Chain A
């Protein structure tokens, strides 16, 4: 598991409108591009060589699979905020305000009454 790197993905995509759009339009291609253009950089010059995704993490991000991400310790705030950015507008238009957020919650309903996966690293 490299939950830190998953969180880094969610964090750096969410804060940049260009990356949000790319991730919406082409999830798998964007994950690969992000690893090359963002993930392996600490800043514009310094490379960070010690982080990488597992195959499962890469597949979950490529599938927009926020349930899997929740279940594997991705930070709840990052996981919610980015997928709201991707889906809220379309859901609101078709099913009304907050419909995406409520579906997100329903898809996690098997966790009700249980201790959630930790977001601590």
Chain B
């Protein structure tokens, strides 16, 4: 059977690339600390020596729009282009072509359908920064095949936090059952409290530091009961209008397990939003 060697859940910040690759005199004052933390986080994936990456993110109105918006979608393609024109324009992100791990895409998709998770699917999927940001931060070589999974954290009405958790649990079950010798890592990004296009955006800190503190604690402890008792679409909107990306972190916690404490937790208070970096080793920490 395949081995799930690591589960990574983090925020994604599209400004990271430019902040750490600009000429030194143009970098923001926090760039060096940010880079140190990201490179330390990268080690948690490198140590797990994965062969294939299941990557969870959310299309930010790049390929998908309100004429046809999937709640959950899996890529089944052999290759994926990445980074849209408007992400290059706004964030200076580079383009990529990533290989797809088609066998796992099919196995995961069919396993989800068998478990009554009726995922949409795509054979021509261009990946956006929700998946490219973690490639840049934790696997900049961009050398591993991927299985992209997209969720709706953007366009109401959205699935419930509970459904994100259930999807994560199902993905875990299917990866564990995949008849393959490959080592799989699951990497997902989302948000803590975040405001975009509203009055609390681009402040000195994230819009709701108390939510962030609590959210990191819940995720670290694998405390799904507390999350489901406290987190609703309305409460997330109260923490910042784009906070629903937290549900992707709940999905990743679902892959890690119920009540399973994270093996690695780090964070960084930045302007606009708090960064969080979390890793679980479901089959034991790498030697």
Across the interface, A104 reaches (CB within 8 A) one of B61, B85, B155, B201, namely: B201
Q: Mark B222-242, 1 if CB is under 8 A from A, else 0.
A: 000000000000000100011
A121 to B241, CA, bound (A): 16
Say how far A74's CB is from chain B's closest CB, in angstroms.
Answer: 9
Q: Which residues of chain A are within 8 angstroms of B86 by Cβ–Cβ distance?
A: 14-15, 81, 85
Chain A residues with CB below 8 A from B29, complex form: none
- Are B242 and A85 neighbours in the complex by a CB distance under 8 Å? no
Interface residues of B in 3-40 (CB under 8 A from A): none
For residue A8, which residues in chain B have a CB less than 8 angstroms away from its CB? 65-67
Chain B interface, number of residues (Cβ within 8 angstroms) = 28
- Given A15-B62, A120-B157: A101 touches B202 (CB 8 Å cut-off): yes
Given A116-B237, A116-B241: A77 in contact with B197 (beta carbons within 8 A) = yes
Given A15-B84, A80-B197, A104-B201, the answer on whether A7 and B89 have CB atoms closer than 8 Å is: no
A84/B198 contact (C-beta < 8 A), A77-B154, A78-B61 known: no
Interface residue total, chain A, C-beta cutoff 8 A: 38
Known contacts A11-B61, A11-B65, A119-B156: A80-B200 contact under CB 8 Å: no
Which of chain A's residues have a CB closer than 8 A to the CB of B201? 80, 101, 104-105
- Output the nearest chain A residue to B158 by Cβ-Cβ distance: A120
Chain B residues proximal to chain A, CB less than 8 Å: 60-62, 65-67, 84-86, 89-90, 154-157, 195-203, 237, 241-242, 271
